[in-house]
Structure 1
Amino acid sequence: MKSGSPQTATHPGGFTLVEIMVAMVIGMIGIIVMMQVFATAEAQKRTTTGTGDAQSSGALALYELQGAIRQSGYGFNSTSVLNCALSIPPPPPSTAAARLVPVFAPTLINPGGIPAGDADTDTLLIAYGSSPGSSEGDAIVLANGAALSTQTPANFAVGDRVIVAPPIETVPCPPLVLDRVTNTANNVVTIGNSGAKSGELLFNLGGSP
């Protein structure tokens, strides 16, 4: 008999069930760690972005407030119109009730008659005009009802908002009305209110006070 070399059986290589389960556990742990890192980074990103947006919005709001506060009182630099009640009628043809500001001043905090936009917030009322005329008021030389002859009628235009006030400060101060110029023909300023008197002052706050 011919003797031959012994033969060994060979099996294809592979993974056992235990190895597969261990690999799955390691992969799941890695995914969980990556998701936690991603969530933390995303939260930090949102916080940083929100803080930056809040700072930008606050800076823009303060810039707007700064510009408005600097102009407070422009157009009525006289004590005869300060600390008086001011009635603000709605623009025509509206028939709504007029709003009453108890105290008319360049800057007021929480004035009466003007509700806050949101609950538990403060209201800052800043009043200023847009007219190039005198801030000391224009003297009314002759008052003929709603037709007023003033010293400088050229400073008034149709649509300008005006206030008629006494020439000197009075106590108690009479209620004032924010009126509108309806005509400026023949150097006569015609307004809607006919209660003006000769010798009083006509303050022009311009077309967009």
Structure 2
Amino acid sequence: MSRPARLDRGFSLVELMVAMVIGLVLTLTISTMVARQESVRRGVTSGNDLTSNSAYASYLLDRELRSAGAGFSQATASNYGCTLHASRNAAQLLPATAAFPAPFAAIPQDYRLAPVMVFAGAGAGGSDVIAVATGHSGLSETALPVSPGTAAPGQVKLSNTLGMRGGDLVLVAQDGLAQCMLQQVSAGFVGGTAEVLTFGGTLAADVIAGVALADFAIGNTNVSLLGNATGNQPRLQLLGIGANNTLFSYDLLQLTAGAQALAEGIVDMRVRYGVDSAPRDGTVDAWIAPTSAGYTAAALRDGSATSRDNLQSILSLRVGLVLRSDLVDKTDVTRPTLTLFDTLPAAQQHTFTVPAGTATQRYRTVEFTVPLRNVRYSR
């Protein structure tokens, strides 16, 4: 007995078309969800990378800046703004005989000692460069007076040399001279009641760029202990943005050779000074750009009493960073401009314009304030 014809019939064309449409809709929906999930995942990963980079860069800068001025801020009249002379293996190190390596080639070769100094627009893309000086003596921050007339080749005379040892790095400076020298205590020296402090080693020299140790024989000369050549090294650093959106540091004393890459993904760095305006009360009451009158690098470097006073008035730094991810999205994910220091008056704010063609990459701004604890107790 044959089966009814209706039982041998398959799907009709209409039924097949409906099934195909449903299948295509489901496929499209699933594909869209997968693509959206992947985009979200990539965005989260990119955001996490920016968070990690910003936290790490902030930590590095805070570490370098927080102790600025340690070791020499208790003798501002002789130390602040002095032109530092240093040598290594009898070769002049400072003032530099050639331009500093990138990204610091625009920084003046005659380095003036200060806890911090900002060179506005001297870095890559017009970013700021920070010069920071920190001693790590581990001893008293009080400068030691040199007995008048005793500065001579290879030595000075102090009231005592307690705590000094071979390899220590000291700053020799004199009120009103506007020049200072880095010297290294001779190997094997052990301080105590002995009054004569002798110099020798790779970082010691009697004459550097025409300035002689004997020039400090006149009164009001001080010795400030900065650290040691092999342990507790002083850090005289330049910090700025260079090629490939990288934060670099450069050791002016070349205890660490060459420019060192610190963190990636940073496209801009801007700084504002936290200033204790007159009358002085030890608190920050104004934020000043490093392009403002009296606070430009040129003004802070002129060696005048006003520049020293202004350097003492800088009690903190507010640092703003702009970071960018490597991930490129299909559509724009960043607005055309970003603002740093938006809680400050308009004149102190900085507008960062996102470069053409990079709005498809994620940007992030981060700001932090670093108190300069040693400057608060300077005199």
Task: State the TM-score bracket (shorter-chain normalisation).
Answer: 0.7 to 0.9
Q: Shift of the alpha carbon at 1:206?
A: 0.1
Within 5 A, what are the aligned runs for 1:89-168?
A: 89=87, 91-92=88-89, 98-99=95-96, 100-110=109-119, 116=123, 118-141=124-147, 142-166=150-174, 168=175
**Other-structure match for 2:69:** 73
Aligned equivalents of 1:150, 1:184: Cα separation in 2: 18
Q: Is the 8 A contact 2:120 2:127 kept in 1?
A: no
Specify which of 167, 178, 187 is matched with residue 182 of structure 2. 178
Aligned equivalents of 1:129, 1:47: Cα separation in 2: 43
Q: Name which of structure 1's ranges 173-182 and 69-78 shifts more when overlaid on structure 2.
A: 173-182
Aligned equivalents of 2:94, 2:11: Cα separation in 1: 87
Q: Shift of the alpha carbon at 1:94?
A: 7.3
Q: Is the 8 A contact 1:165 1:202 kept in 2?
A: yes
Q: Is the 8 A contact 1:157 1:181 kept in 2?
A: yes
Q: Shift of the alpha carbon at 1:81?
A: 0.7
SS where residue 201 of structure 1 aligns? strand
Q: Shift of the alpha carbon at 1:105?
A: 0.9
Q: Which has the higher strand share?
A: 2
Specify which of 193, 196, 199 is matched with residue 205 of structure 2. 193
Q: Shift of the alpha carbon at 1:53?
A: 3.1
Q: CA RMSD in A?
A: 3.3
Q: Which has the higher helix share?
A: 1
Change (3 A) 1:183 1:45: same
Q: Which amino acid aligns with 2:136?
A: S
Percent sequence identity is 26
Q: Name which of structure 1's ranges 75-84 and 189-198 shifts more when overlaid on structure 2.
A: 189-198
What TM-score, normalized by structure 1, do the two folds share? 0.73
What TM-score, normalized by structure 2, do the two folds share? 0.44
Q: Shift of the alpha carbon at 1:40?
A: 1.7
- Deviation string, structure 1 residues 57-78 (Cα, Å, up to 9, x no partner): 3233333333433311110021
Q: Shift of the alpha carbon at 1:148?
A: 2.9
- Deviation string, structure 1 residues 20-69 (Cα, Å, up to 9, x no partner): 45434432332222111222222223223322332343233333333433
Aligned equivalents of 2:129, 2:170: Cα separation in 1: 24
Q: Is 1:62 aligned to residue 62 of structure 2?
A: no
Gaps of 5+ in 1: 1-5
- Deviation string, structure 1 residues 164-203 (Cα, Å, up to 9, x no partner): 101x3x1xx4332333333353753214222223452222
Gaps of 5+ in 2: 97-108, 207-211, 235-379
**Other-structure match for 1:83:** 81
Aligned equivalents of 1:27, 1:127: Cα separation in 2: 69
Change (3 A) 1:189 1:74: same
**Other-structure match for 2:309:** none
Q: Is the 8 A contact 1:132 1:155 kept in 2?
A: no
Specify which of 34, 39, 51 is matched with residue 38 of structure 1. 34
**Other-structure match for 2:106:** none
**Other-structure match for 1:3:** none
Q: Is the 8 A contact 1:153 1:189 kept in 2?
A: no
Q: Shift of the alpha carbon at 1:8?
A: 5.5
SS where residue 127 of structure 1 aligns? strand
What is the number of residues matched between the two proteins? 196
Aligned equivalents of 1:81, 1:96: Cα separation in 2: 18
Q: Name which of structure 1's ranges 180-189 and 141-150 shifts more when overlaid on structure 2.
A: 180-189
- Deviation string, structure 1 residues 87-125 (Cα, Å, up to 9, x no partner): 454x5487777533443211111289xx63x44221122
Q: Which is higher, the Rg of structure 1 or of structure 2?
A: 1
Q: Which amino acid aligns with 1:75?
A: G
